[in-house]
Amino acid sequence: MDRRISGSTQLLGLIGDPVAHSLSPAMHNAALAAMGEDYCYVPFPVAAERLAVAVAGLAAIGVRGFNVTIPHKQAILPLLSQVEARAAAVGAVNTVYALPEGGWGGTNTDIDGFVQPLLGLEKGIPTLILGSGGAARAAIQGCLELGLGPVRVAGRSPEKLRALQQTWPQVETLSWAELDRHLAETRLLVNTTPVGMHKPGSLAELSPLSWEQLRLLPAGATVYDLVYVPDPTPLLRMAAELGHTPIGGLEMLIHQGAKALSLWLGGKLVPVEVMRQAARQQLAQIGDPNS
């Protein structure tokens, strides 16, 4: 479809710092074109100290909604008129929408993106989440909404682990040294750490778990790595070789975007496959995103 900006074209966007690497503009604009919607999705680089004025400015020019990425997912909460309960529980917003009465509402479609590849799993399976940061919080909420459990979280920061347990008392927290004794019963393993990410500097050939640890998982376990560059990550390559089911993080990115776009468009069905193809094409071109 020939995309043209007209006098009636409406704006959607992304705020963060940086945003130049993001796959979101390619995904969203491809979907909008396929749907014939007169919208344009634009990345806006916003430094932390300019967040409040940027959010006010987006409202002033009539932006219909926007995504939020690092470093603003927590800082934006007090700037919103309403925050959905699940986003408040996670303590982060990644999708903002204009309210009919004015102001902004916030939600967290990272949770929706996270759960989408897991919808076929049976309830009540033992789950182990690696990491205790913001991505882990979305993963915990998603696992609990799916009825998975027991849910355990292993991390290296006692302070962050304590904070997780305060938010979700039903979740068991483990030091990194304690995780091995739970691997034999773990049916779903989720990596929310950046280990394995392809970046200059380089954790790219590392895995958060060793061959020996992955061999402790029961046969046919599901291993979900939220890192999506490289594809597959070292963790997923090893998991596949051991006969486990690998899930890459690109699916989470695609589905969180699809959920956000549907929300902005009043619940319309969004062409997920178009977004997937656009994301993969963009990945092939830029090679080293980290969104």
Indicate which residues carry an active-site annotation.
Answer: 73
Q: Which tokens sit at 181?
A: 């004794």
State yes or no: 267 annotated in a binding site: no
CA–CA dist 267, 244 (Å, integer): 35
State yes or no: 134 annotated in a binding site: yes
CA 213, chain centre distance (Å) = 26
State yes or no: 225 annotated in a binding site: no
State yes or no: 94 annotated in a binding site: yes
State yes or no: 24 annotated in a binding site: yes
State yes or no: 22 annotated in a binding site: yes
State yes or no: 132 annotated in a binding site: yes
State yes or no: 110 annotated in a binding site: yes
State yes or no: 89 annotated in a binding site: no
CA–CA dist 87, 289 (Å, integer): 25
User: Which residues neighbour 42 within 8 Å (Cβ) at sequence distance 6 or greater?
Assistant: 11, 12, 13, 14, 25
Backbone angles phi, psi at 96, to 5 degrees: -120, 140
Q: Which residues are annotated as a binding site?
A: 22-24, 69, 94, 110, 131-135, 226, 228, 249
Q: Which residues are annotated as a binding site for NADP(+)?
A: 131-135, 226, 249
Q: Which residues are annotated as a binding site for shikimate?
A: 22-24, 69, 94, 110, 228
